[in-house]
């Protein structure tokens, strides 16, 4: 009988090697590669299959020379992936909530404590430092140009520090020869 590509058959494991297992299907022997044994990582084939075990296999390829490639994992039903429901969380009005006071302005004492927690984590090496942080409450008389100039100044300082570090690395690498 001729095997058909894409069809699932019942087979029997006849031999196990380090790279796969040979399965006899309807009088013909095909190979199941180690990557086609299970949906999880397979370190040892003997943990998943035993000689003489009956398995369902799917024919995935038959070469011109008559070599049969089989897959156990494609013969199994696909594992269900958990579906994410993005609409479950109710939307909050930004003007009310734990971070705001009665007139809708942010509570800066809570913001300061969040920034301090971030700085403590950053100093411990867990989090990279922020590019620009202004823990002082925003003044009502400061405008966009002032904020932009402070940001540019902080960015230029950090960029020059990075440039110095990279220049030092290049110099030390050249001397090692």
Choose the final residue of a domain: 56, 71, 86. 71
For the chain, the helix, strand and coil percentages under 3-state DSSP, each to the nearest 5:
30, 20, 50
Number of domains in the chain: 3
Are 153 and 168 members of one domain? yes
Nearest to 153 by CA among 131, 174, 175: 131
Range of the domain at 122: 97-133
Q: How many CB atoms lie within 10 A of CB 18?
A: 8
Residue 60 lies in a domain: yes
pLDDT in tens, 67-105: 999 999 888 877 777 776 666 555 555 555 555 445 555
Q: Mean pLDDT across the stretch 154-172?
A: 83
Residue 85 lies in a domain: no
Q: How far apart are the first and last CA of the chain?
A: 69
Residue 84 lies in a domain: no
pLDDT in tens, 108-160: 555 556 566 666 665 665 555 555 555 555 555 568 888 888 899 999 998 88
Nearest to 30 by CA among 70, 71, 75: 70
Under 8 Å between Cβ of 30 and 70: yes
């Amino acid at each position: 009988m001729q095997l058909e590509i894409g069809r699932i058959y019942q087979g029997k494991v006849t031999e196990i090697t380090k790279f796969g297992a040979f399965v006899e299907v309807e009088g013909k022997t095909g190979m199941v590669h180690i990557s086609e044994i299970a949906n999880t990582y397979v370190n040892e084939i003997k943990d998943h299959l035993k000689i003489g075990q009956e398995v369902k296999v799917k024919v995935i390829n038959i070469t011109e020379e008559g070599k049969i490639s089989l897959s156990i994992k494609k013969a199994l039903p696909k594992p269900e992936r958990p579906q994410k429901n993005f609409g479950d969380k109710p939307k909050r009005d930004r003007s009310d909530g734990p971070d705001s006071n009665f007139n809708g302005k942010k509570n800066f004492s809570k913001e300061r404590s969040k920034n301090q927690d971030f700085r403590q984590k950053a100093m411990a090496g867990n989090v990279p430092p922020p590019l620009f942080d202004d823990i002082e409450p925003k003044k009502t008389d400061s405008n966009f140009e002032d904020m932009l100039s402070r940001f540019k100044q902080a960015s230029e300082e950090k960029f020059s520090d990075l440039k110095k570090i990279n220049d030092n690395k290049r110099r030390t690498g050249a001397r090692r020869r």
